[in-house]
Amino acid sequence: MLSCFSCCLSGEKSRKRSLKKSIQEFKKTNSVASFANISFKSDASRRRYIAEEIEKLGKGNISAEIFTFQDLSVATQNFNLETLLGEGGFGRVYKGWIESKKMDVAVKQLDRNGFQGNREFLVEVLILSLLHHPNLVNLVGYCADGKQRILVYEYMHNGSLEDHLLNISPERKPLDWHTRMKIAEGAARGLEYLHETANPPVIYRDFKASNILLDENFNPKLSDFGLAKLGPIGGNTHVSTRVMGTYGYCAPEYASTGQLTTKSDVYSFGVVFLEIITGRRVIDTSKPNEEQNLITWAQPLFKDKKKFHLMADQLLEGNYPEKALYQALAIAAMCLQEEASIRPLISDVVTALEYLSGGKSAAETCEDEEQQEEDDGGQT
């Protein structure tokens, strides 16, 4: 099965894998690190520090706007429940309209008694202010009036991947195979940007279907960066931190030791990618005991090619290329390796997914390369 993954990558042998150009706004590593970990004595100092530090770091490069609570009350019709898009442990998200910008927005009002505290709020404002990529959600602005902690994002018309994959309402059409692969590739590109372009790298730490938002064309964008951590720098191999994230998506070595690397995100990607392929939640207590944990259920099936079709989402009704299913499962299996060092880099995953989302199988790519080599040999 692993040969499928190798074949997906073979087309990139001649391409030099250098890190992309570091983001200009993200050069001051020490400032970023201190801002992410600082503690405050009073709410007033927190509010003042947020505005001052973002202004200092941004130097005109940060486009996030500072909103007043009144601004956002008007935008959401006083946080009217009819504008509620969703809620969770972090608080509630409302749909709003910013008249001055003539745009729809998603307004995330953090629960003052909830899990996501001031540190998480600061990290999210900073990361989304300094890092910009087509597969990361755009931060329009924020509000830190009094005890309010509110984030304002671009509005994503198709909600989350979870809405279309795991919480499908009767009126929604299931995602087809091509759209699923397109979403997987885009989400992987978002992680690739965080891991290999951001300097220092950023470990997302909360990769799951509900945090992958979809625009009107089902292009994915990663959201909710409150748990993100700056990755190891210098000679360090990992960062140590208390275990956070969502049960079922955490890499085993991170869950057991608290040691976090970019390969921890790769594992989480593998979990979500398997959800995309199967249409099953990673943890589903409504299923029979042996099927409640998606990874445990899938492991023996990975070893038997004759059973691969059993892992495809039944809602696809068999409408998928058989070879593409094999290759997708190979990618998922590699990402879900118990040993972190064996998992691929996310850039390798992106390369493999390019073929799946582009409609060209890895097998066809290998055949093309072999033919090209023959042609080249014939010309010498």
User: Alpha-carbon Rg of the chain, whole angstroms?
Assistant: 22
176 flagged as catalytic: no
In terms of residues, how long is the chain? 380
214 phi and psi, to 5 degrees?
Answer: -125, 130
Q: Which residues pair with 229 in a beta bridge?
A: 203
Residues 6+ apart with CB under 8 A from 108: 90, 91, 92, 93, 150, 151, 152, 153
H-run or E-run covering 290: none
Q: How far apart are CA 53 and CA 35, in angstroms?
A: 8
Instruction: Give the pair of three-digit tokens for residue 256.
Output: 């057991």
Burial letters 292-313, b for 16+ CB under 10 A, else e: bbbbebbeebbeeeeebeebbb
Q: Is 108 flagged in the annotation as binding?
A: yes
H-helix or E-strand spanning residue 3 = helix 2-9
Q: Report which of 199, 200, 221 is spatially closest to residue 211, judged by C-alpha positions.
A: 221
Q: What phi, psi does 95 have (nearest 5°)?
A: -85, 135
Picking from 288, 249, 103, 290, the residue whose alpha carbon sits closest to that of residue 162 is 249
CA 192 to each of CA 133, 144, 274: distance values in angstroms, whole numbers, following the listed order: 10, 31, 19
Contact between residue 330 and residue 309 where contact means Cβ atoms under 8 Å apart: no
Catalytic residue among 206, 224, 265, 313: 206
Torsion on CA atoms 224, 54, 51, 113, rounded to nearest 10 = 20
Q: Would you say 144 and 50 are in contact if contact means Cβ atoms under 8 Å apart?
A: yes
Q: Which residues line the annotated binding site?
A: 108
List, by residue number, the catalytic residues. 206
Q: Which residues line the annotated binding site for ATP?
A: 108
